[in-house]
Amino acid sequence: MKIERFEEIESWKEARALTNNVYTISLQSKFSKDYGLKDQMQRAAVSIMANIAEGFDAGSDKGFINFLNFAYRSASEVQSLFYVALDQKYVPETCFHQNYDQAAKVKRLIGGLIKYLKSSGPKR
C-alpha cells in the first residue's frame, strides 16, 4: 500500500499523540510557569511531527531520510526534557515513563522507516 499523505505515516500519528500529551502536561500547575522548559518541550515535540511531514514532501528518499533524522533527534530531546520535568517534580514517575516510552516508540517507528527507505532503493 502506497502512502499518499503524511497523515498516514505511523510515526507521524504517534508523534501527534506525544505532542498532545506534551501540551496537556506542560500546561499544568508548576510546569506551566517554567516557560523555558515548557516552550522547549513543546517545540521539540512539534518538531517531530513537522519534520516527518516536511520530509515526506522533500521530493526524494534521501531528502526524506534527512528530515526523519531531525525528527528522531527531536524525539530524543523530548525524552531528555522529560527527565528535567521529572527531576523538578512537574510530572510523576508514571507520567514520565509513559511519555518517555511514547517517544521511544516514535523513535523506533522513525528508525524503521529510515531503514526501509535506505534498503528499498530510490523510488522518487
The pLDDT value recorded for residue 29 is 87
pLDDT score at 120: 81
Residues 53-83 have pLDDT tens digits of: 999 999 999 999 999 999 999 999 999 999 9
Distances 110 to 55, 57, 60, 71, 99 between C-alpha atoms, Å: 12, 16, 16, 8, 16
71 domain-assigned: yes
Total domains present in the chain? 1
Q: Is residue 3 part of a domain?
A: no
Please give the grid coordinates belonging to residue 46: 512539534
Kindly report the CATH number assigned to the domain that includes residue 31. 1.20.1440.60
At 123 the pLDDT is 57
Residue 54 lies in a domain: yes
Specify if 4 maps to a domain: no
Dihedral of the CA atoms 87, 84, 96, 22 (nearest 10)?
140
The pLDDT score that the predictor gives to residue 26 is 95
The per-residue pLDDT for 2 is 86
Domain assignment of residue 77, yes or no: yes
Counting as low any pLDDT under 50, the low residues of the chain are none
Q: Residue 33: inside a domain, yes or no? A: yes
Return the C-alpha cell found at 86.
Answer: 521529572
Q: Which domain holds residue 19?
A: 10-118
45 part of a folded domain:
yes
Task: Give pLDDT, residue 106.
Answer: 98
pLDDT at 82: 98
